[in-house]
Every structure is written in structure tokens, then in C-alpha cells.
Amino acid sequence: MKATGIVRRIDDLGRVVIPKEIRRTMRIREGDPLEIYTDNDGEVIFKKYSPIGELASFAGQYADVLYKIGGHPVIVSDRDHVVAVSGIPKKEMIERRVSASLEDIMEQRRGYIYSSKEQKRLQPVEGVERFASVAIPILSGGDVSGTVMFLASEPASAVGESEIKLIQAAAAFLGKQMEE
């Protein structure tokens, strides 16, 4: 565990303020759920909770099916990291952070569809030179929980209506699964 040198006191209601620098670095936003762990040494550990992470194996199976049907590599992410991949090596993507541009798409609750007329490409994962052809946010209980996306097979390839519908259906289905 990494020491930060920051000390905070617990207030009379049992609250602790997580410093802004740590929230920014760890991408913790107002309203984000945190899991609380303790260990035998008396440490209390806060970890960002990912509802999509709870469905990681299920999301992986769904990504495999999408890849077989759609023919494009598939990524499923929570709001911060990639949780499932199909069609490309898992080592390349799993647990990598999503890009700021993908975070913006999730914050705005809108999808991304690449068209050859559009100049700006969406690089969904930090440090990986792959681009999304379609990305749709996963909504659960009115909140954005992550995204499902097809990656472009070729650098300038656009997707058809069927691929868009497949990703929309996947996002809606995973959102429903998290509600149950």
C-alpha cells in the first residue's frame, strides 16, 4: 500500500473526507459507490465498487458471442476500466483505464458511432492504439455503469446498422442484468 502523507480526522458523524488529489487521481466522483474492506492489521481499505465488475465473467461470455456474430473485437468497460474483451488478446486490454474521451461520452449519456465523414476517432482505452467504431453506454437504474463497444477492424472502417443494433442490445441487456 502506498502512503500519501495525508491525515484526516473522523467527524462526529463518522465521516472522513477523501482529499481532492486522491479523488482526482483515482477518478472518484460525487455519488460513486465505494466498497469498504478491513484486514487483520487494522487497515481500512476503500475500493471503487463496479457493478459491471460483478458481472465480468458474464460480460466476457456476452462479448465472445458479440464477437462471433458481429465479427469485430468487443470491449466491455465499467466507468473506469476494461472488464471484458473478445477478439483481441486480453492482456492488451483487461484492467486498463478508459480514456478521458470515453468518460466524456459516458458522462453525456450518448453513444458514439464512427462515420467516414467524421474526422475525430474515439480511442477508448488509454495507451492502446485501437479505435472504437461504435460505443454505447450501459444504463442501469438511470445511472451510467459502463460501455459496450466494437473496435474498428481496419483503421477507417465504419459500421452498419446491424452492428449498431447489436451493441445497443448488448448495452441494454447488461443494464437490465445489473438491475436484478
Q: Where are the domains of the chain?
A: 1-49, 52-179
Report yes or no: 62 and 173 within 8 Å, Cβ to Cβ.
yes
Identical fold at 1-49 and 52-179?
no
CATH T-level fold of 1-49: Pemi-like Protein 1; Chain: D (2.10.260)
Say what the pLDDT of residue 29 is.
81
Say what the pLDDT of residue 156 is.
60
> In the sheet that 112-113 helps form, which strands lie side by side, from edge to edge?
82-86, 74-78, 143-151, 132-140, 112-113
Q: What does the DSSP assignment read for 31-50?
A: T--EEEEE-TTS-EEEEE--
What percent of the chain is modeled with pLDDT above 90? 41
- Which helix (H) or strand (E) covers residue 83, if one does? strand 82-86
Residues 79-129: pLDDT tens digits?
A: 888 999 999 998 888 889 999 999 999 999 999 998 876 567 889 999 888
Tally of helices (H runs) and strands (E runs) in the chain = 6, 7
The span from the CA of 153 to the CA of 7, in Å, is 49
Mean pLDDT of 4-8: 80
Say what the pLDDT of residue 157 is.
67
- Which helix (H) or strand (E) covers residue 145, if one does? strand 143-151
Residues 17-27: pLDDT tens digits?
A: 888 888 887 77
CATH T-level fold of 52-179: Beta-Lactamase (3.30.450)
Residues 39-87: pLDDT tens digits?
A: 888 888 888 777 777 778 888 999 999 999 999 999 999 988 899 999 9
Say what the pLDDT of residue 118 is.
57
Report yes or no: 142 and 123 within 8 Å, Cβ to Cβ.
no
Whether residue 170 is predicted with pLDDT greater than 70 in this model: the reply is: yes
The span from the CA of 111 to the CA of 97, in Å, is 19
The span from the CA of 57 to the CA of 7, in Å, is 38
Residues 118-163: pLDDT tens digits?
A: 567 889 999 888 999 999 999 988 888 899 999 987 766 677 899 9
Q: Residue 142 has which C-alpha cell?
A: 438511470
Whether residue 1 is predicted with pLDDT greater than 70 in this model: the reply is: no
